[in-house]
Amino acid sequence: MSNRHHFRTEKRIIPVGRHRLQIRIIRPVREPPGEHPGVLWIHGGGYQSGSSKDVYVTRALSLTVKFGAVIIAPDYRLSRKCPYPAGLQDCYEALLYLRDHAKELNIREDQIMVGGESAGGGLTAAVCMLARDRGEVNIAYQMPIYPMLDDRDTETSRDNHATNWNTKKNHKAWKRYLREAYGTDLVSPYAAPARQTNYQNLPPCYTYVGDIEPFYRETVDYVENLQKAGVEASLDVYPDWFHAYDVLFPMAKISREAIRKFEKHFAYALVHYSAPQPEKKEMAGNDDADVVR
């Protein structure tokens, strides 16, 4: 039976300043009793392409079909027209929407999670950092899959000619996203989370990555930095995987193994991780400048 018999989709609009952000809400057709985890899932595309429809071909959908999670997938502004911080601002506003509508959507307020692949993984890390620093939302778990975290060359993003994503594409994408800040020391850790220096009190994390793709080194570093800060974090590395291998070849044996492990970690998180929400306080505003700070 097709997965489409197991979930339903609804689209809503969130005002973000003068911008109107569309979100896609994915829910089980037959919702299990009780409240469900709520997951903000952020699509990839180098910060410059992609859409919320990608949720149907990535790891997010199984979280609804197999675990009853409610997914919110935002169509955040892309860097071709709107560079940083527009995309991050949209994702953070979608997170606030998830929190504020938890009761309506039958979501556990203490099990709000964030995940995404590639640039969506980078935005996952950035959203977690922003949420921690603002203190408006407590995130129980993060799933930044092969995340795009570092605007600077690393030992694996430099001179990388792997299939699907490589050094040339990476440089072009970061230039679009950061504009005049690219190549300087003015880049915020909310824009490029690898520039973060404080990893304390971030949510527990699981991710996986291939060892021949550009983001291998920055993914390993991110997990190690979380662990050094006392955050529970784990990583699986798959040999000879280029970028987004599991999405392009989901039926390959090694992809099926990666998917199985991802779902196993999510099931573990449902039992072991929760984060009660703080008392609501007056919002700092949704001006782009607030994100930059």
Task: Name the DSSP letter for residue 185.
Answer: S
Tell me what the mean pLDDT of segment 74-95 comes to: 98
**Mean pLDDT for the stretch of residues 280-284:** 58
Q: For residues 82 and 49, what is the distance between their CA atoms, to the nearest angstrom?
A: 11
**What's the rounded mean pLDDT across residues 95-115?**
97
Cβ contact 213:149 at 8 Å: no
The answer to whether the Cα torsion of 140, 72, 3, 117 is positive or negative is: negative
Whether the full predicted model's pTM is greater than 0.85, yes or no, is yes
Query: In b/e form, how buried is each residue of 272-282, taking b as 16+ CB within 10 angstroms?
Result: ebbbeeeeeee
Whether domain 3-292 has CATH 3.50.50.60: no
Q: How many CB atoms lie within 10 A of CB 100?
A: 12
- For 242-251, give one letter per residue: b (16+ CB within 10 A) or e: bbbbbbeeee
Strand 36-42 and strand 70-74: the pairing is parallel
- Cis peptide bond prior to 239, omega within 30° of 0: no
| Pairing mode, strands 107-117 and 141-145 | parallel
Q: How far apart are alpha carbons 30 and 28 in whole angstroms?
A: 5
Confidence category of residue 38, pLDDT binned at 50, 70, 90: very high
Is the Cα dihedral 250, 251, 256, 259 positive or negative?
positive
- Tokens 């679009």, located at residue: 176
The pLDDT, as a whole number, for residue 4 is 59
Nearest to 168 by CA among 181, 155, 180, 157: 157
As given in the structure block, the two tokens for residue 120 are 């969506």
Alpha carbon distances (Å) from 80 to 45, 74, 85, 142, 157: 11, 17, 13, 27, 22
Mean local confidence (pLDDT), 125-140: 98
Dmax of the chain from CA atoms?
52
The yes-or-no verdict on residue 127 having pLDDT over 70 is: yes
| High-pLDDT (> 70) share of the chain, % | 94
Residue 14 has pLDDT above 90, yes or no: yes
Report yes or no: 59 and 115 within 8 Å, Cβ to Cβ: yes
**What are the pLDDT digits (tens) for 177-208?**
999 999 999 999 999 999 999 999 999 999 99
Across 23-32, 35-44, 145-154, 218-227, least confident range: 23-32
Average pLDDT of the residues of the chain: 94
pLDDT in the model for residue 34: 79
pLDDT at 1 > cutoff 50: no
Distance between CA atoms of residues 159 and 204, nearest Å: 32
Judged against a pLDDT cut of 50, whether residue 77 lies above it is answered with yes
Q: Which amino acid is at 284?
A: A
- Contacts (Cβ under 8 Å, ≥6 apart) of 169: 46
Whether the per-residue pLDDT at 2 is higher than 90: the answer is no
Measured N-to-C along each axis, helices 119-134 and 86-100 cross at an angle, to the nearest 10 degrees, of 60
At 220-268, the pLDDT tens digits run 999 999 999 999 999 999 999 999 999 999 999 999 999 999 999 999 9
Reply yes or no on whether the pLDDT at 291 is more than 80.
no
